[in-house]
Structure 1
């Protein structure tokens, strides 16, 4: 069934391609014959403008010739309104061919004339077209200003067609900038107006735009349905240029479904039409898409050639969005052939333009590619930065709520449309019933009159005959209507069967996609597990703790597979260097930062001989800022590390401490059976990273005893929500807990900390990585 419908669809395309040219040529020939017979100047100008308008979608060069002839005659005869219309029409033809500079010039001249003769419809139309020009050039603020000017005039003059045009164009800008909810609401409003006006071309425009929006939300089946609706309508109104847009879009959807051969066929059909119209922007877009498809097929040389062709055309017509797209595509080409420096150069060029135009979708994708390139290049700090930017942009764009909103509003429109059709059918049935009752009354009156007056009866019978004839005609009409409804029911039945088959196909596709997602998730999970093994390998083994401390515990509970919290330990001569730290974020971003922290601590302590704890943190901060290219600007991300760092000098029986936010807690037994004392050495209120203070870290020194117990920790335990009122655990409760359990051995203390945590959290989610280190400074040696 599906193969047969595809066959008919291809036949339909071939037939429509033939009929476009035939019907357009017949209409043009008729107008040209009328033009030859006419000598009145104003009528000749109007006929030339009609021919120009009819040819704009089939023969742009010939349309320009008639437009210029009409303009010259209008100038000679001082027909100002016709002169403005001619200028506008010529501007539209240049808009179709992608010559935005000329199009802008002609439209501005037309606008001046329309303003001088106070022609509201012309002023609105020019504003709308100028908005389209600036939209194509990527000057979105100017575009919206002109669209809003057009909207205000159309609303005031009740020009529904113009109002719908401007509303549709504003929706297009919302779509480009990723504001999908606002875009779909505007599209549905435009669709209602177009349905009311019975404007097939306008309805097709909306279906094409909604299809593009479905496409960006990865609703490919819905996109294809909307594109096919647009395709049929464009064929009916014989708009070949707009048909090429739909062919291009269908090609893209097929490429996402990995039907590459069919996708190329649609792309080349679209390219041929666009080249015929000299529609440069369309040619550039399709050329770029063909290049992307060749790159997927690993025909990289062909892909690169198409990318360069596309870039040259976009530069020629000064289309900033297009230039950005082409730079991005070339960047992906260099990434695939492992030329990372060139890839980054092109991604940066694409990013500058995308940021200028606020193309959020493109910015997100560029960040993702830059992160991947830097990771492949082993520049992990930069890879980490761009991965954060990508995640921030992704969260603000694509989500299931947007996708559901689009489908919900479109279904609501279809439902309202169906309800109106049912109401209309009910009204027709009521009228038919009323007619039948009237007929019965007339017959009764005739019979009653016949009993009384034979003469009147003869007259009435004659009259009844005529009425009956009329009723028979009405009955025939009703019968035809019933037959027509039966045909509709049959069509609905076929459509239901088609939808059922489509649903089965969608289920199969969904199953395939679920398998693919599961496969990709497994790959991602394997990669994260591998990263976890790398991270664990870099952390000090617990055997080292057993060797250096007589009693200790390590309570390490990451939120995800990999952690942003880490601990570090190194013994040099009589000194033990020890750190417990919390990197920005958790999961993969936090793990990136933890690897940098461990690496830099090894480097600082290795190079340093006689250096205190505060100076070590100063050096660590400098290395981290240099690695992340941080200069302290307000606009930069505040990536960094919170840390508690100690140097234990056993020979001097003292401990040095320096901290970035995180403290050191010491519990010291009281003399003469007095209560134990809790000593807190607080860290400086600044991180290892960018901070507005940027002062040196404070080095604190305290003498220690053999019974002292030391605790280093991150904020994960303290920030956990729980208890009967869902509050955070906080530092004061934690200190009290340490005093209660300090008399137990370190392993017993760990068990009690874990039990208190689980009882506190209950069924709530763990919100952060947790790391606590407890130890006594005495060793087993």
Structure 2
């Protein structure tokens, strides 16, 4: 099925230019003819380059990187108008989206997601909903390749909503097929069939015969899995009929192999062989490497069953050869060679024109020889004076450069020493944090999203057990970086002592004792230290939960509603009007989700207007993902934060804990 299902990976560049699909020498000839009309500084040049990339079956990362560089140069070209720079930036984003597809195919998932995020930010900035829906679709494709179907489905559905909004019928047809493929992967064949039928209906309304033929083939394979052999054959025959009418040889070869597979399973070896041999001939004629391999695989099985061992071996070797084929590299080399030839001839024409111009100038110079000699002498004298001045300045600059370089070396050494010390401090700080193994042992269905702003952090998460109680907390100490990390060590120690030495398990009393320890520690200083900690602290025993907090609240999500319990408005530290912390008790219900967090997530600036994320948006995000596992929730919350932040700097440490009971 993997070779049959059509995955509509829309690399869409939002280009407003029509182009035909090229192949072989025709493609190269058309490239030379079209691109010779424009300069790389012209938007039409990069549009055409991007369309060539879209229409060419052999895509390389180097090609799209080069396209991105040309677009980036156009963005920075001073003579271009604002509108032209916007066009260059939109195409730049699309090039990054295509880079994401290619590095994702190499298994570099994080690099692919970074490219996609860059494209998403650009398309959002210009309100380009069509390109944005394509980007969401492609992020879903990345997760689908990682077999993370739940997150893939989340992004496919985001793409679907946008396409419904802008009435992108072509995109909708692709979304239906992608969602159908997810359900197929999860063996939900009836749901898959439903979405494939929706896609087929859309393609039929668009009169998109190629898409319709492919989708009918998908439907046929689903019916085959459901045991309805006659209906499966019918859909595959309908698909073949359309491909035959269109002369779509790629589709003809695919359907012949699929139908030959049906014949093979029914022991109709003569019919299976005929279809396989025809498919192989078409594939070899067109140079379809993958389809040659599929046809060879079918003929190998037929020959093996007919006990034609020599032919079976030949087909097996052909199948293996196709897997290792270098044809794609040869085509890329051919394209590069043709483009290099074009650049050479273009430059040669410019050089010839320049040479003619020089001849005319030389003739004029001969007529005015005496004037030229005098002028040259004057100019030469001025040049000598100027060179003397420049030489003197260069000596001064060289001396200054040596001083600066020496200073830079000293600064670099000091900076490295400081950075190494901070990295070592991070190892120490990590040592006081609970391990993932410990978290999963006591809080089986949970996650921790921990994103320090700097190498070390003022935020930390904490876990202790006492008898049958599990105590856990999300804490935010004053500041971030090195100062925040130092405060966090003192506060973490206070929590540990409150439980281990004093045997406390009531959250309010733990916070009272921790405050006492922290104030006492900072009180040893001769200076007035007012640093401290905000915290949300919980204990769970069976289905009983207790909570106490300093500024940081507790959220329990139950039946689609956020139940918020506010904290005491006083920090863990020196405070003029301190009072005992309040312990709140709750009876939990099966399926409740508990969330503790610092303020770094909701205070992050980002989005189109550079505003804070805010509490309301965070609640809506958590409510929207309650049907997901805690592991998927963690990924979605992290992706949302990075997308919102975009190119802006992270302003604070982030710590979010989620627990489901």
TM-score by length of 2: 0.40
Which fold has the larger relative contact order, with Cα–Cα distance below 8 Å and residues 6 or more apart in sequence?
A: 2
| Rg larger for | 1
Larger helix percent = 1
